[in-house]
Amino acid sequence: MAAARHVWAYIRLGRCHFLVGGFVLHGLGVAAALYTGAPLNWQALLWGQLAITAIQLMTHYANEYFDLEADRANPTPTRWSGGSRILPSNTLSPQVALISALGLALLAVIAILILTLFVRPGLLTPGLLLLSLLLAWGYSAPPLQLHSRGVGEFTTAVLVPGLTPIVGFYLQTGTITALPLLTVIPLSCLQFAMLLAIEFPDEAGDRAAGKRTLVVRLGGAKAARLWMAALLLPYAVAPLLVLAGLPLPVGIASMVSAPIALWMVWRVGRGAWANPTQWNSLAFWSIALFMGTAALELAAFLGLIANVFP
């Protein structure tokens, strides 16, 4: 029974439920590539997904290790913030998280080498994926510790919803066009807003541990205004993205959730960001907007490939 509890704790430490996003975002890039007429490259799909998932899991374990003091100092963890709570509860040793992160980084490098040497030769393959690995590791790990330099949220908004689909597109096509760039703009805005929503409950613990996130640097009220702007921006620019070449069904898909975004802006404008009873809900709906929009864009591309739309 003790062994089973430790295995379950190890799985929780990796926050594996967030891995779904890596599959959806990589799939989005692949679907955009297929929409342009590229044939499906199964080797690129599988090895690319292995590299992405390894980097994502590496980030989870590394964050748990390097953010331990902030998580210990956090008096208000929620279901979506404050880490997995496994290390602060002393269920597992912090070294378990560090060793796991390093092992996953090695696995990612192996996958990147295979992609570079045998699947998609060229400088952009290691360039894009090693950049992703470096930014993911540097988010919480020294010496970069991007989350404490006022750029962690921007970096993650570029890395997760930006580079992941772009990598999927490039591994299939061998090129990068405007299409994947237009596709990821709404998602990057929503990811940025999602991170701010998750940081509101962590502000006290992060401040005490010297983790200077944007919410800590700006204060809750200014961060809330920035959150509202980031949440509204993708819906404001969607028509411009369509004019620039984003397929209309994909543009519409990126706007479907606008009523929910407006409802959330109304809540935050009334002070929900400062109400601990609202934190779980704000984080949940921020995550749902991001993931739902990514899934709808993916579905739109699949519909275009299948000639569902006229």
pLDDT at 209 over 90: no
Q: What does the pLDDT average to over 208-214? A: 88
Region at 212 (left for phi over 0; alpha for psi -120 to 50; beta for the rest): beta
99-114 pLDDT, tens digit per residue, is 999 999 999 999 999 9
Q: What does the pLDDT average to over 18-41? A: 97
- In this structure, of 68-72, 78-82, 280-284, the range with the lowest mean pLDDT score is 78-82
Question: What whole-number distance in Å separates Cα of residue 52 and Cα of residue 132?
Answer: 9
Name the percent of the chain lying above pLDDT 70: 99
pLDDT at 89 over 80: yes
> Is residue 254 a contact partner of residue 296, using CB atoms and an 8 Å limit?
yes
Average pLDDT value over all residues in the chain: 94
Sign for the CA dihedral angle at 196, 201, 203, 206 comes to negative
Estimate the crossing angle of helix 94-114 against helix 124-138, to 10 degrees. Answer: 170
57-76 pLDDT, tens digit per residue, is 999 999 999 999 888 888 87
The residue written with tokens 């809750």 in the block is 220
Q: What does the pLDDT average to over 201-211? A: 86
Q: What does the pLDDT average to over 7-21? A: 91
Question: What whole-number distance in Å separates Cα of residue 289 and Cα of residue 105?
Answer: 29
Sign for the CA dihedral angle at 84, 157, 209, 273 comes to negative
185-197 pLDDT, tens digit per residue, is 999 999 999 999 9
pLDDT at 191: 96
pLDDT at 308: 82
* Banded model confidence at residue 1, pLDDT cuts 50, 70, 90: low
Q: What does the pLDDT average to over 180-185? A: 98
Domains and CATH numbers, the chain: 2-305 (1.10.357.140)
Q: What global pTM score does this model have?
A: 0.96
pLDDT at 26: 98
Cα atoms in the 13 Å half-sphere on the side-chain side of 247: 22
pLDDT at 158: 93
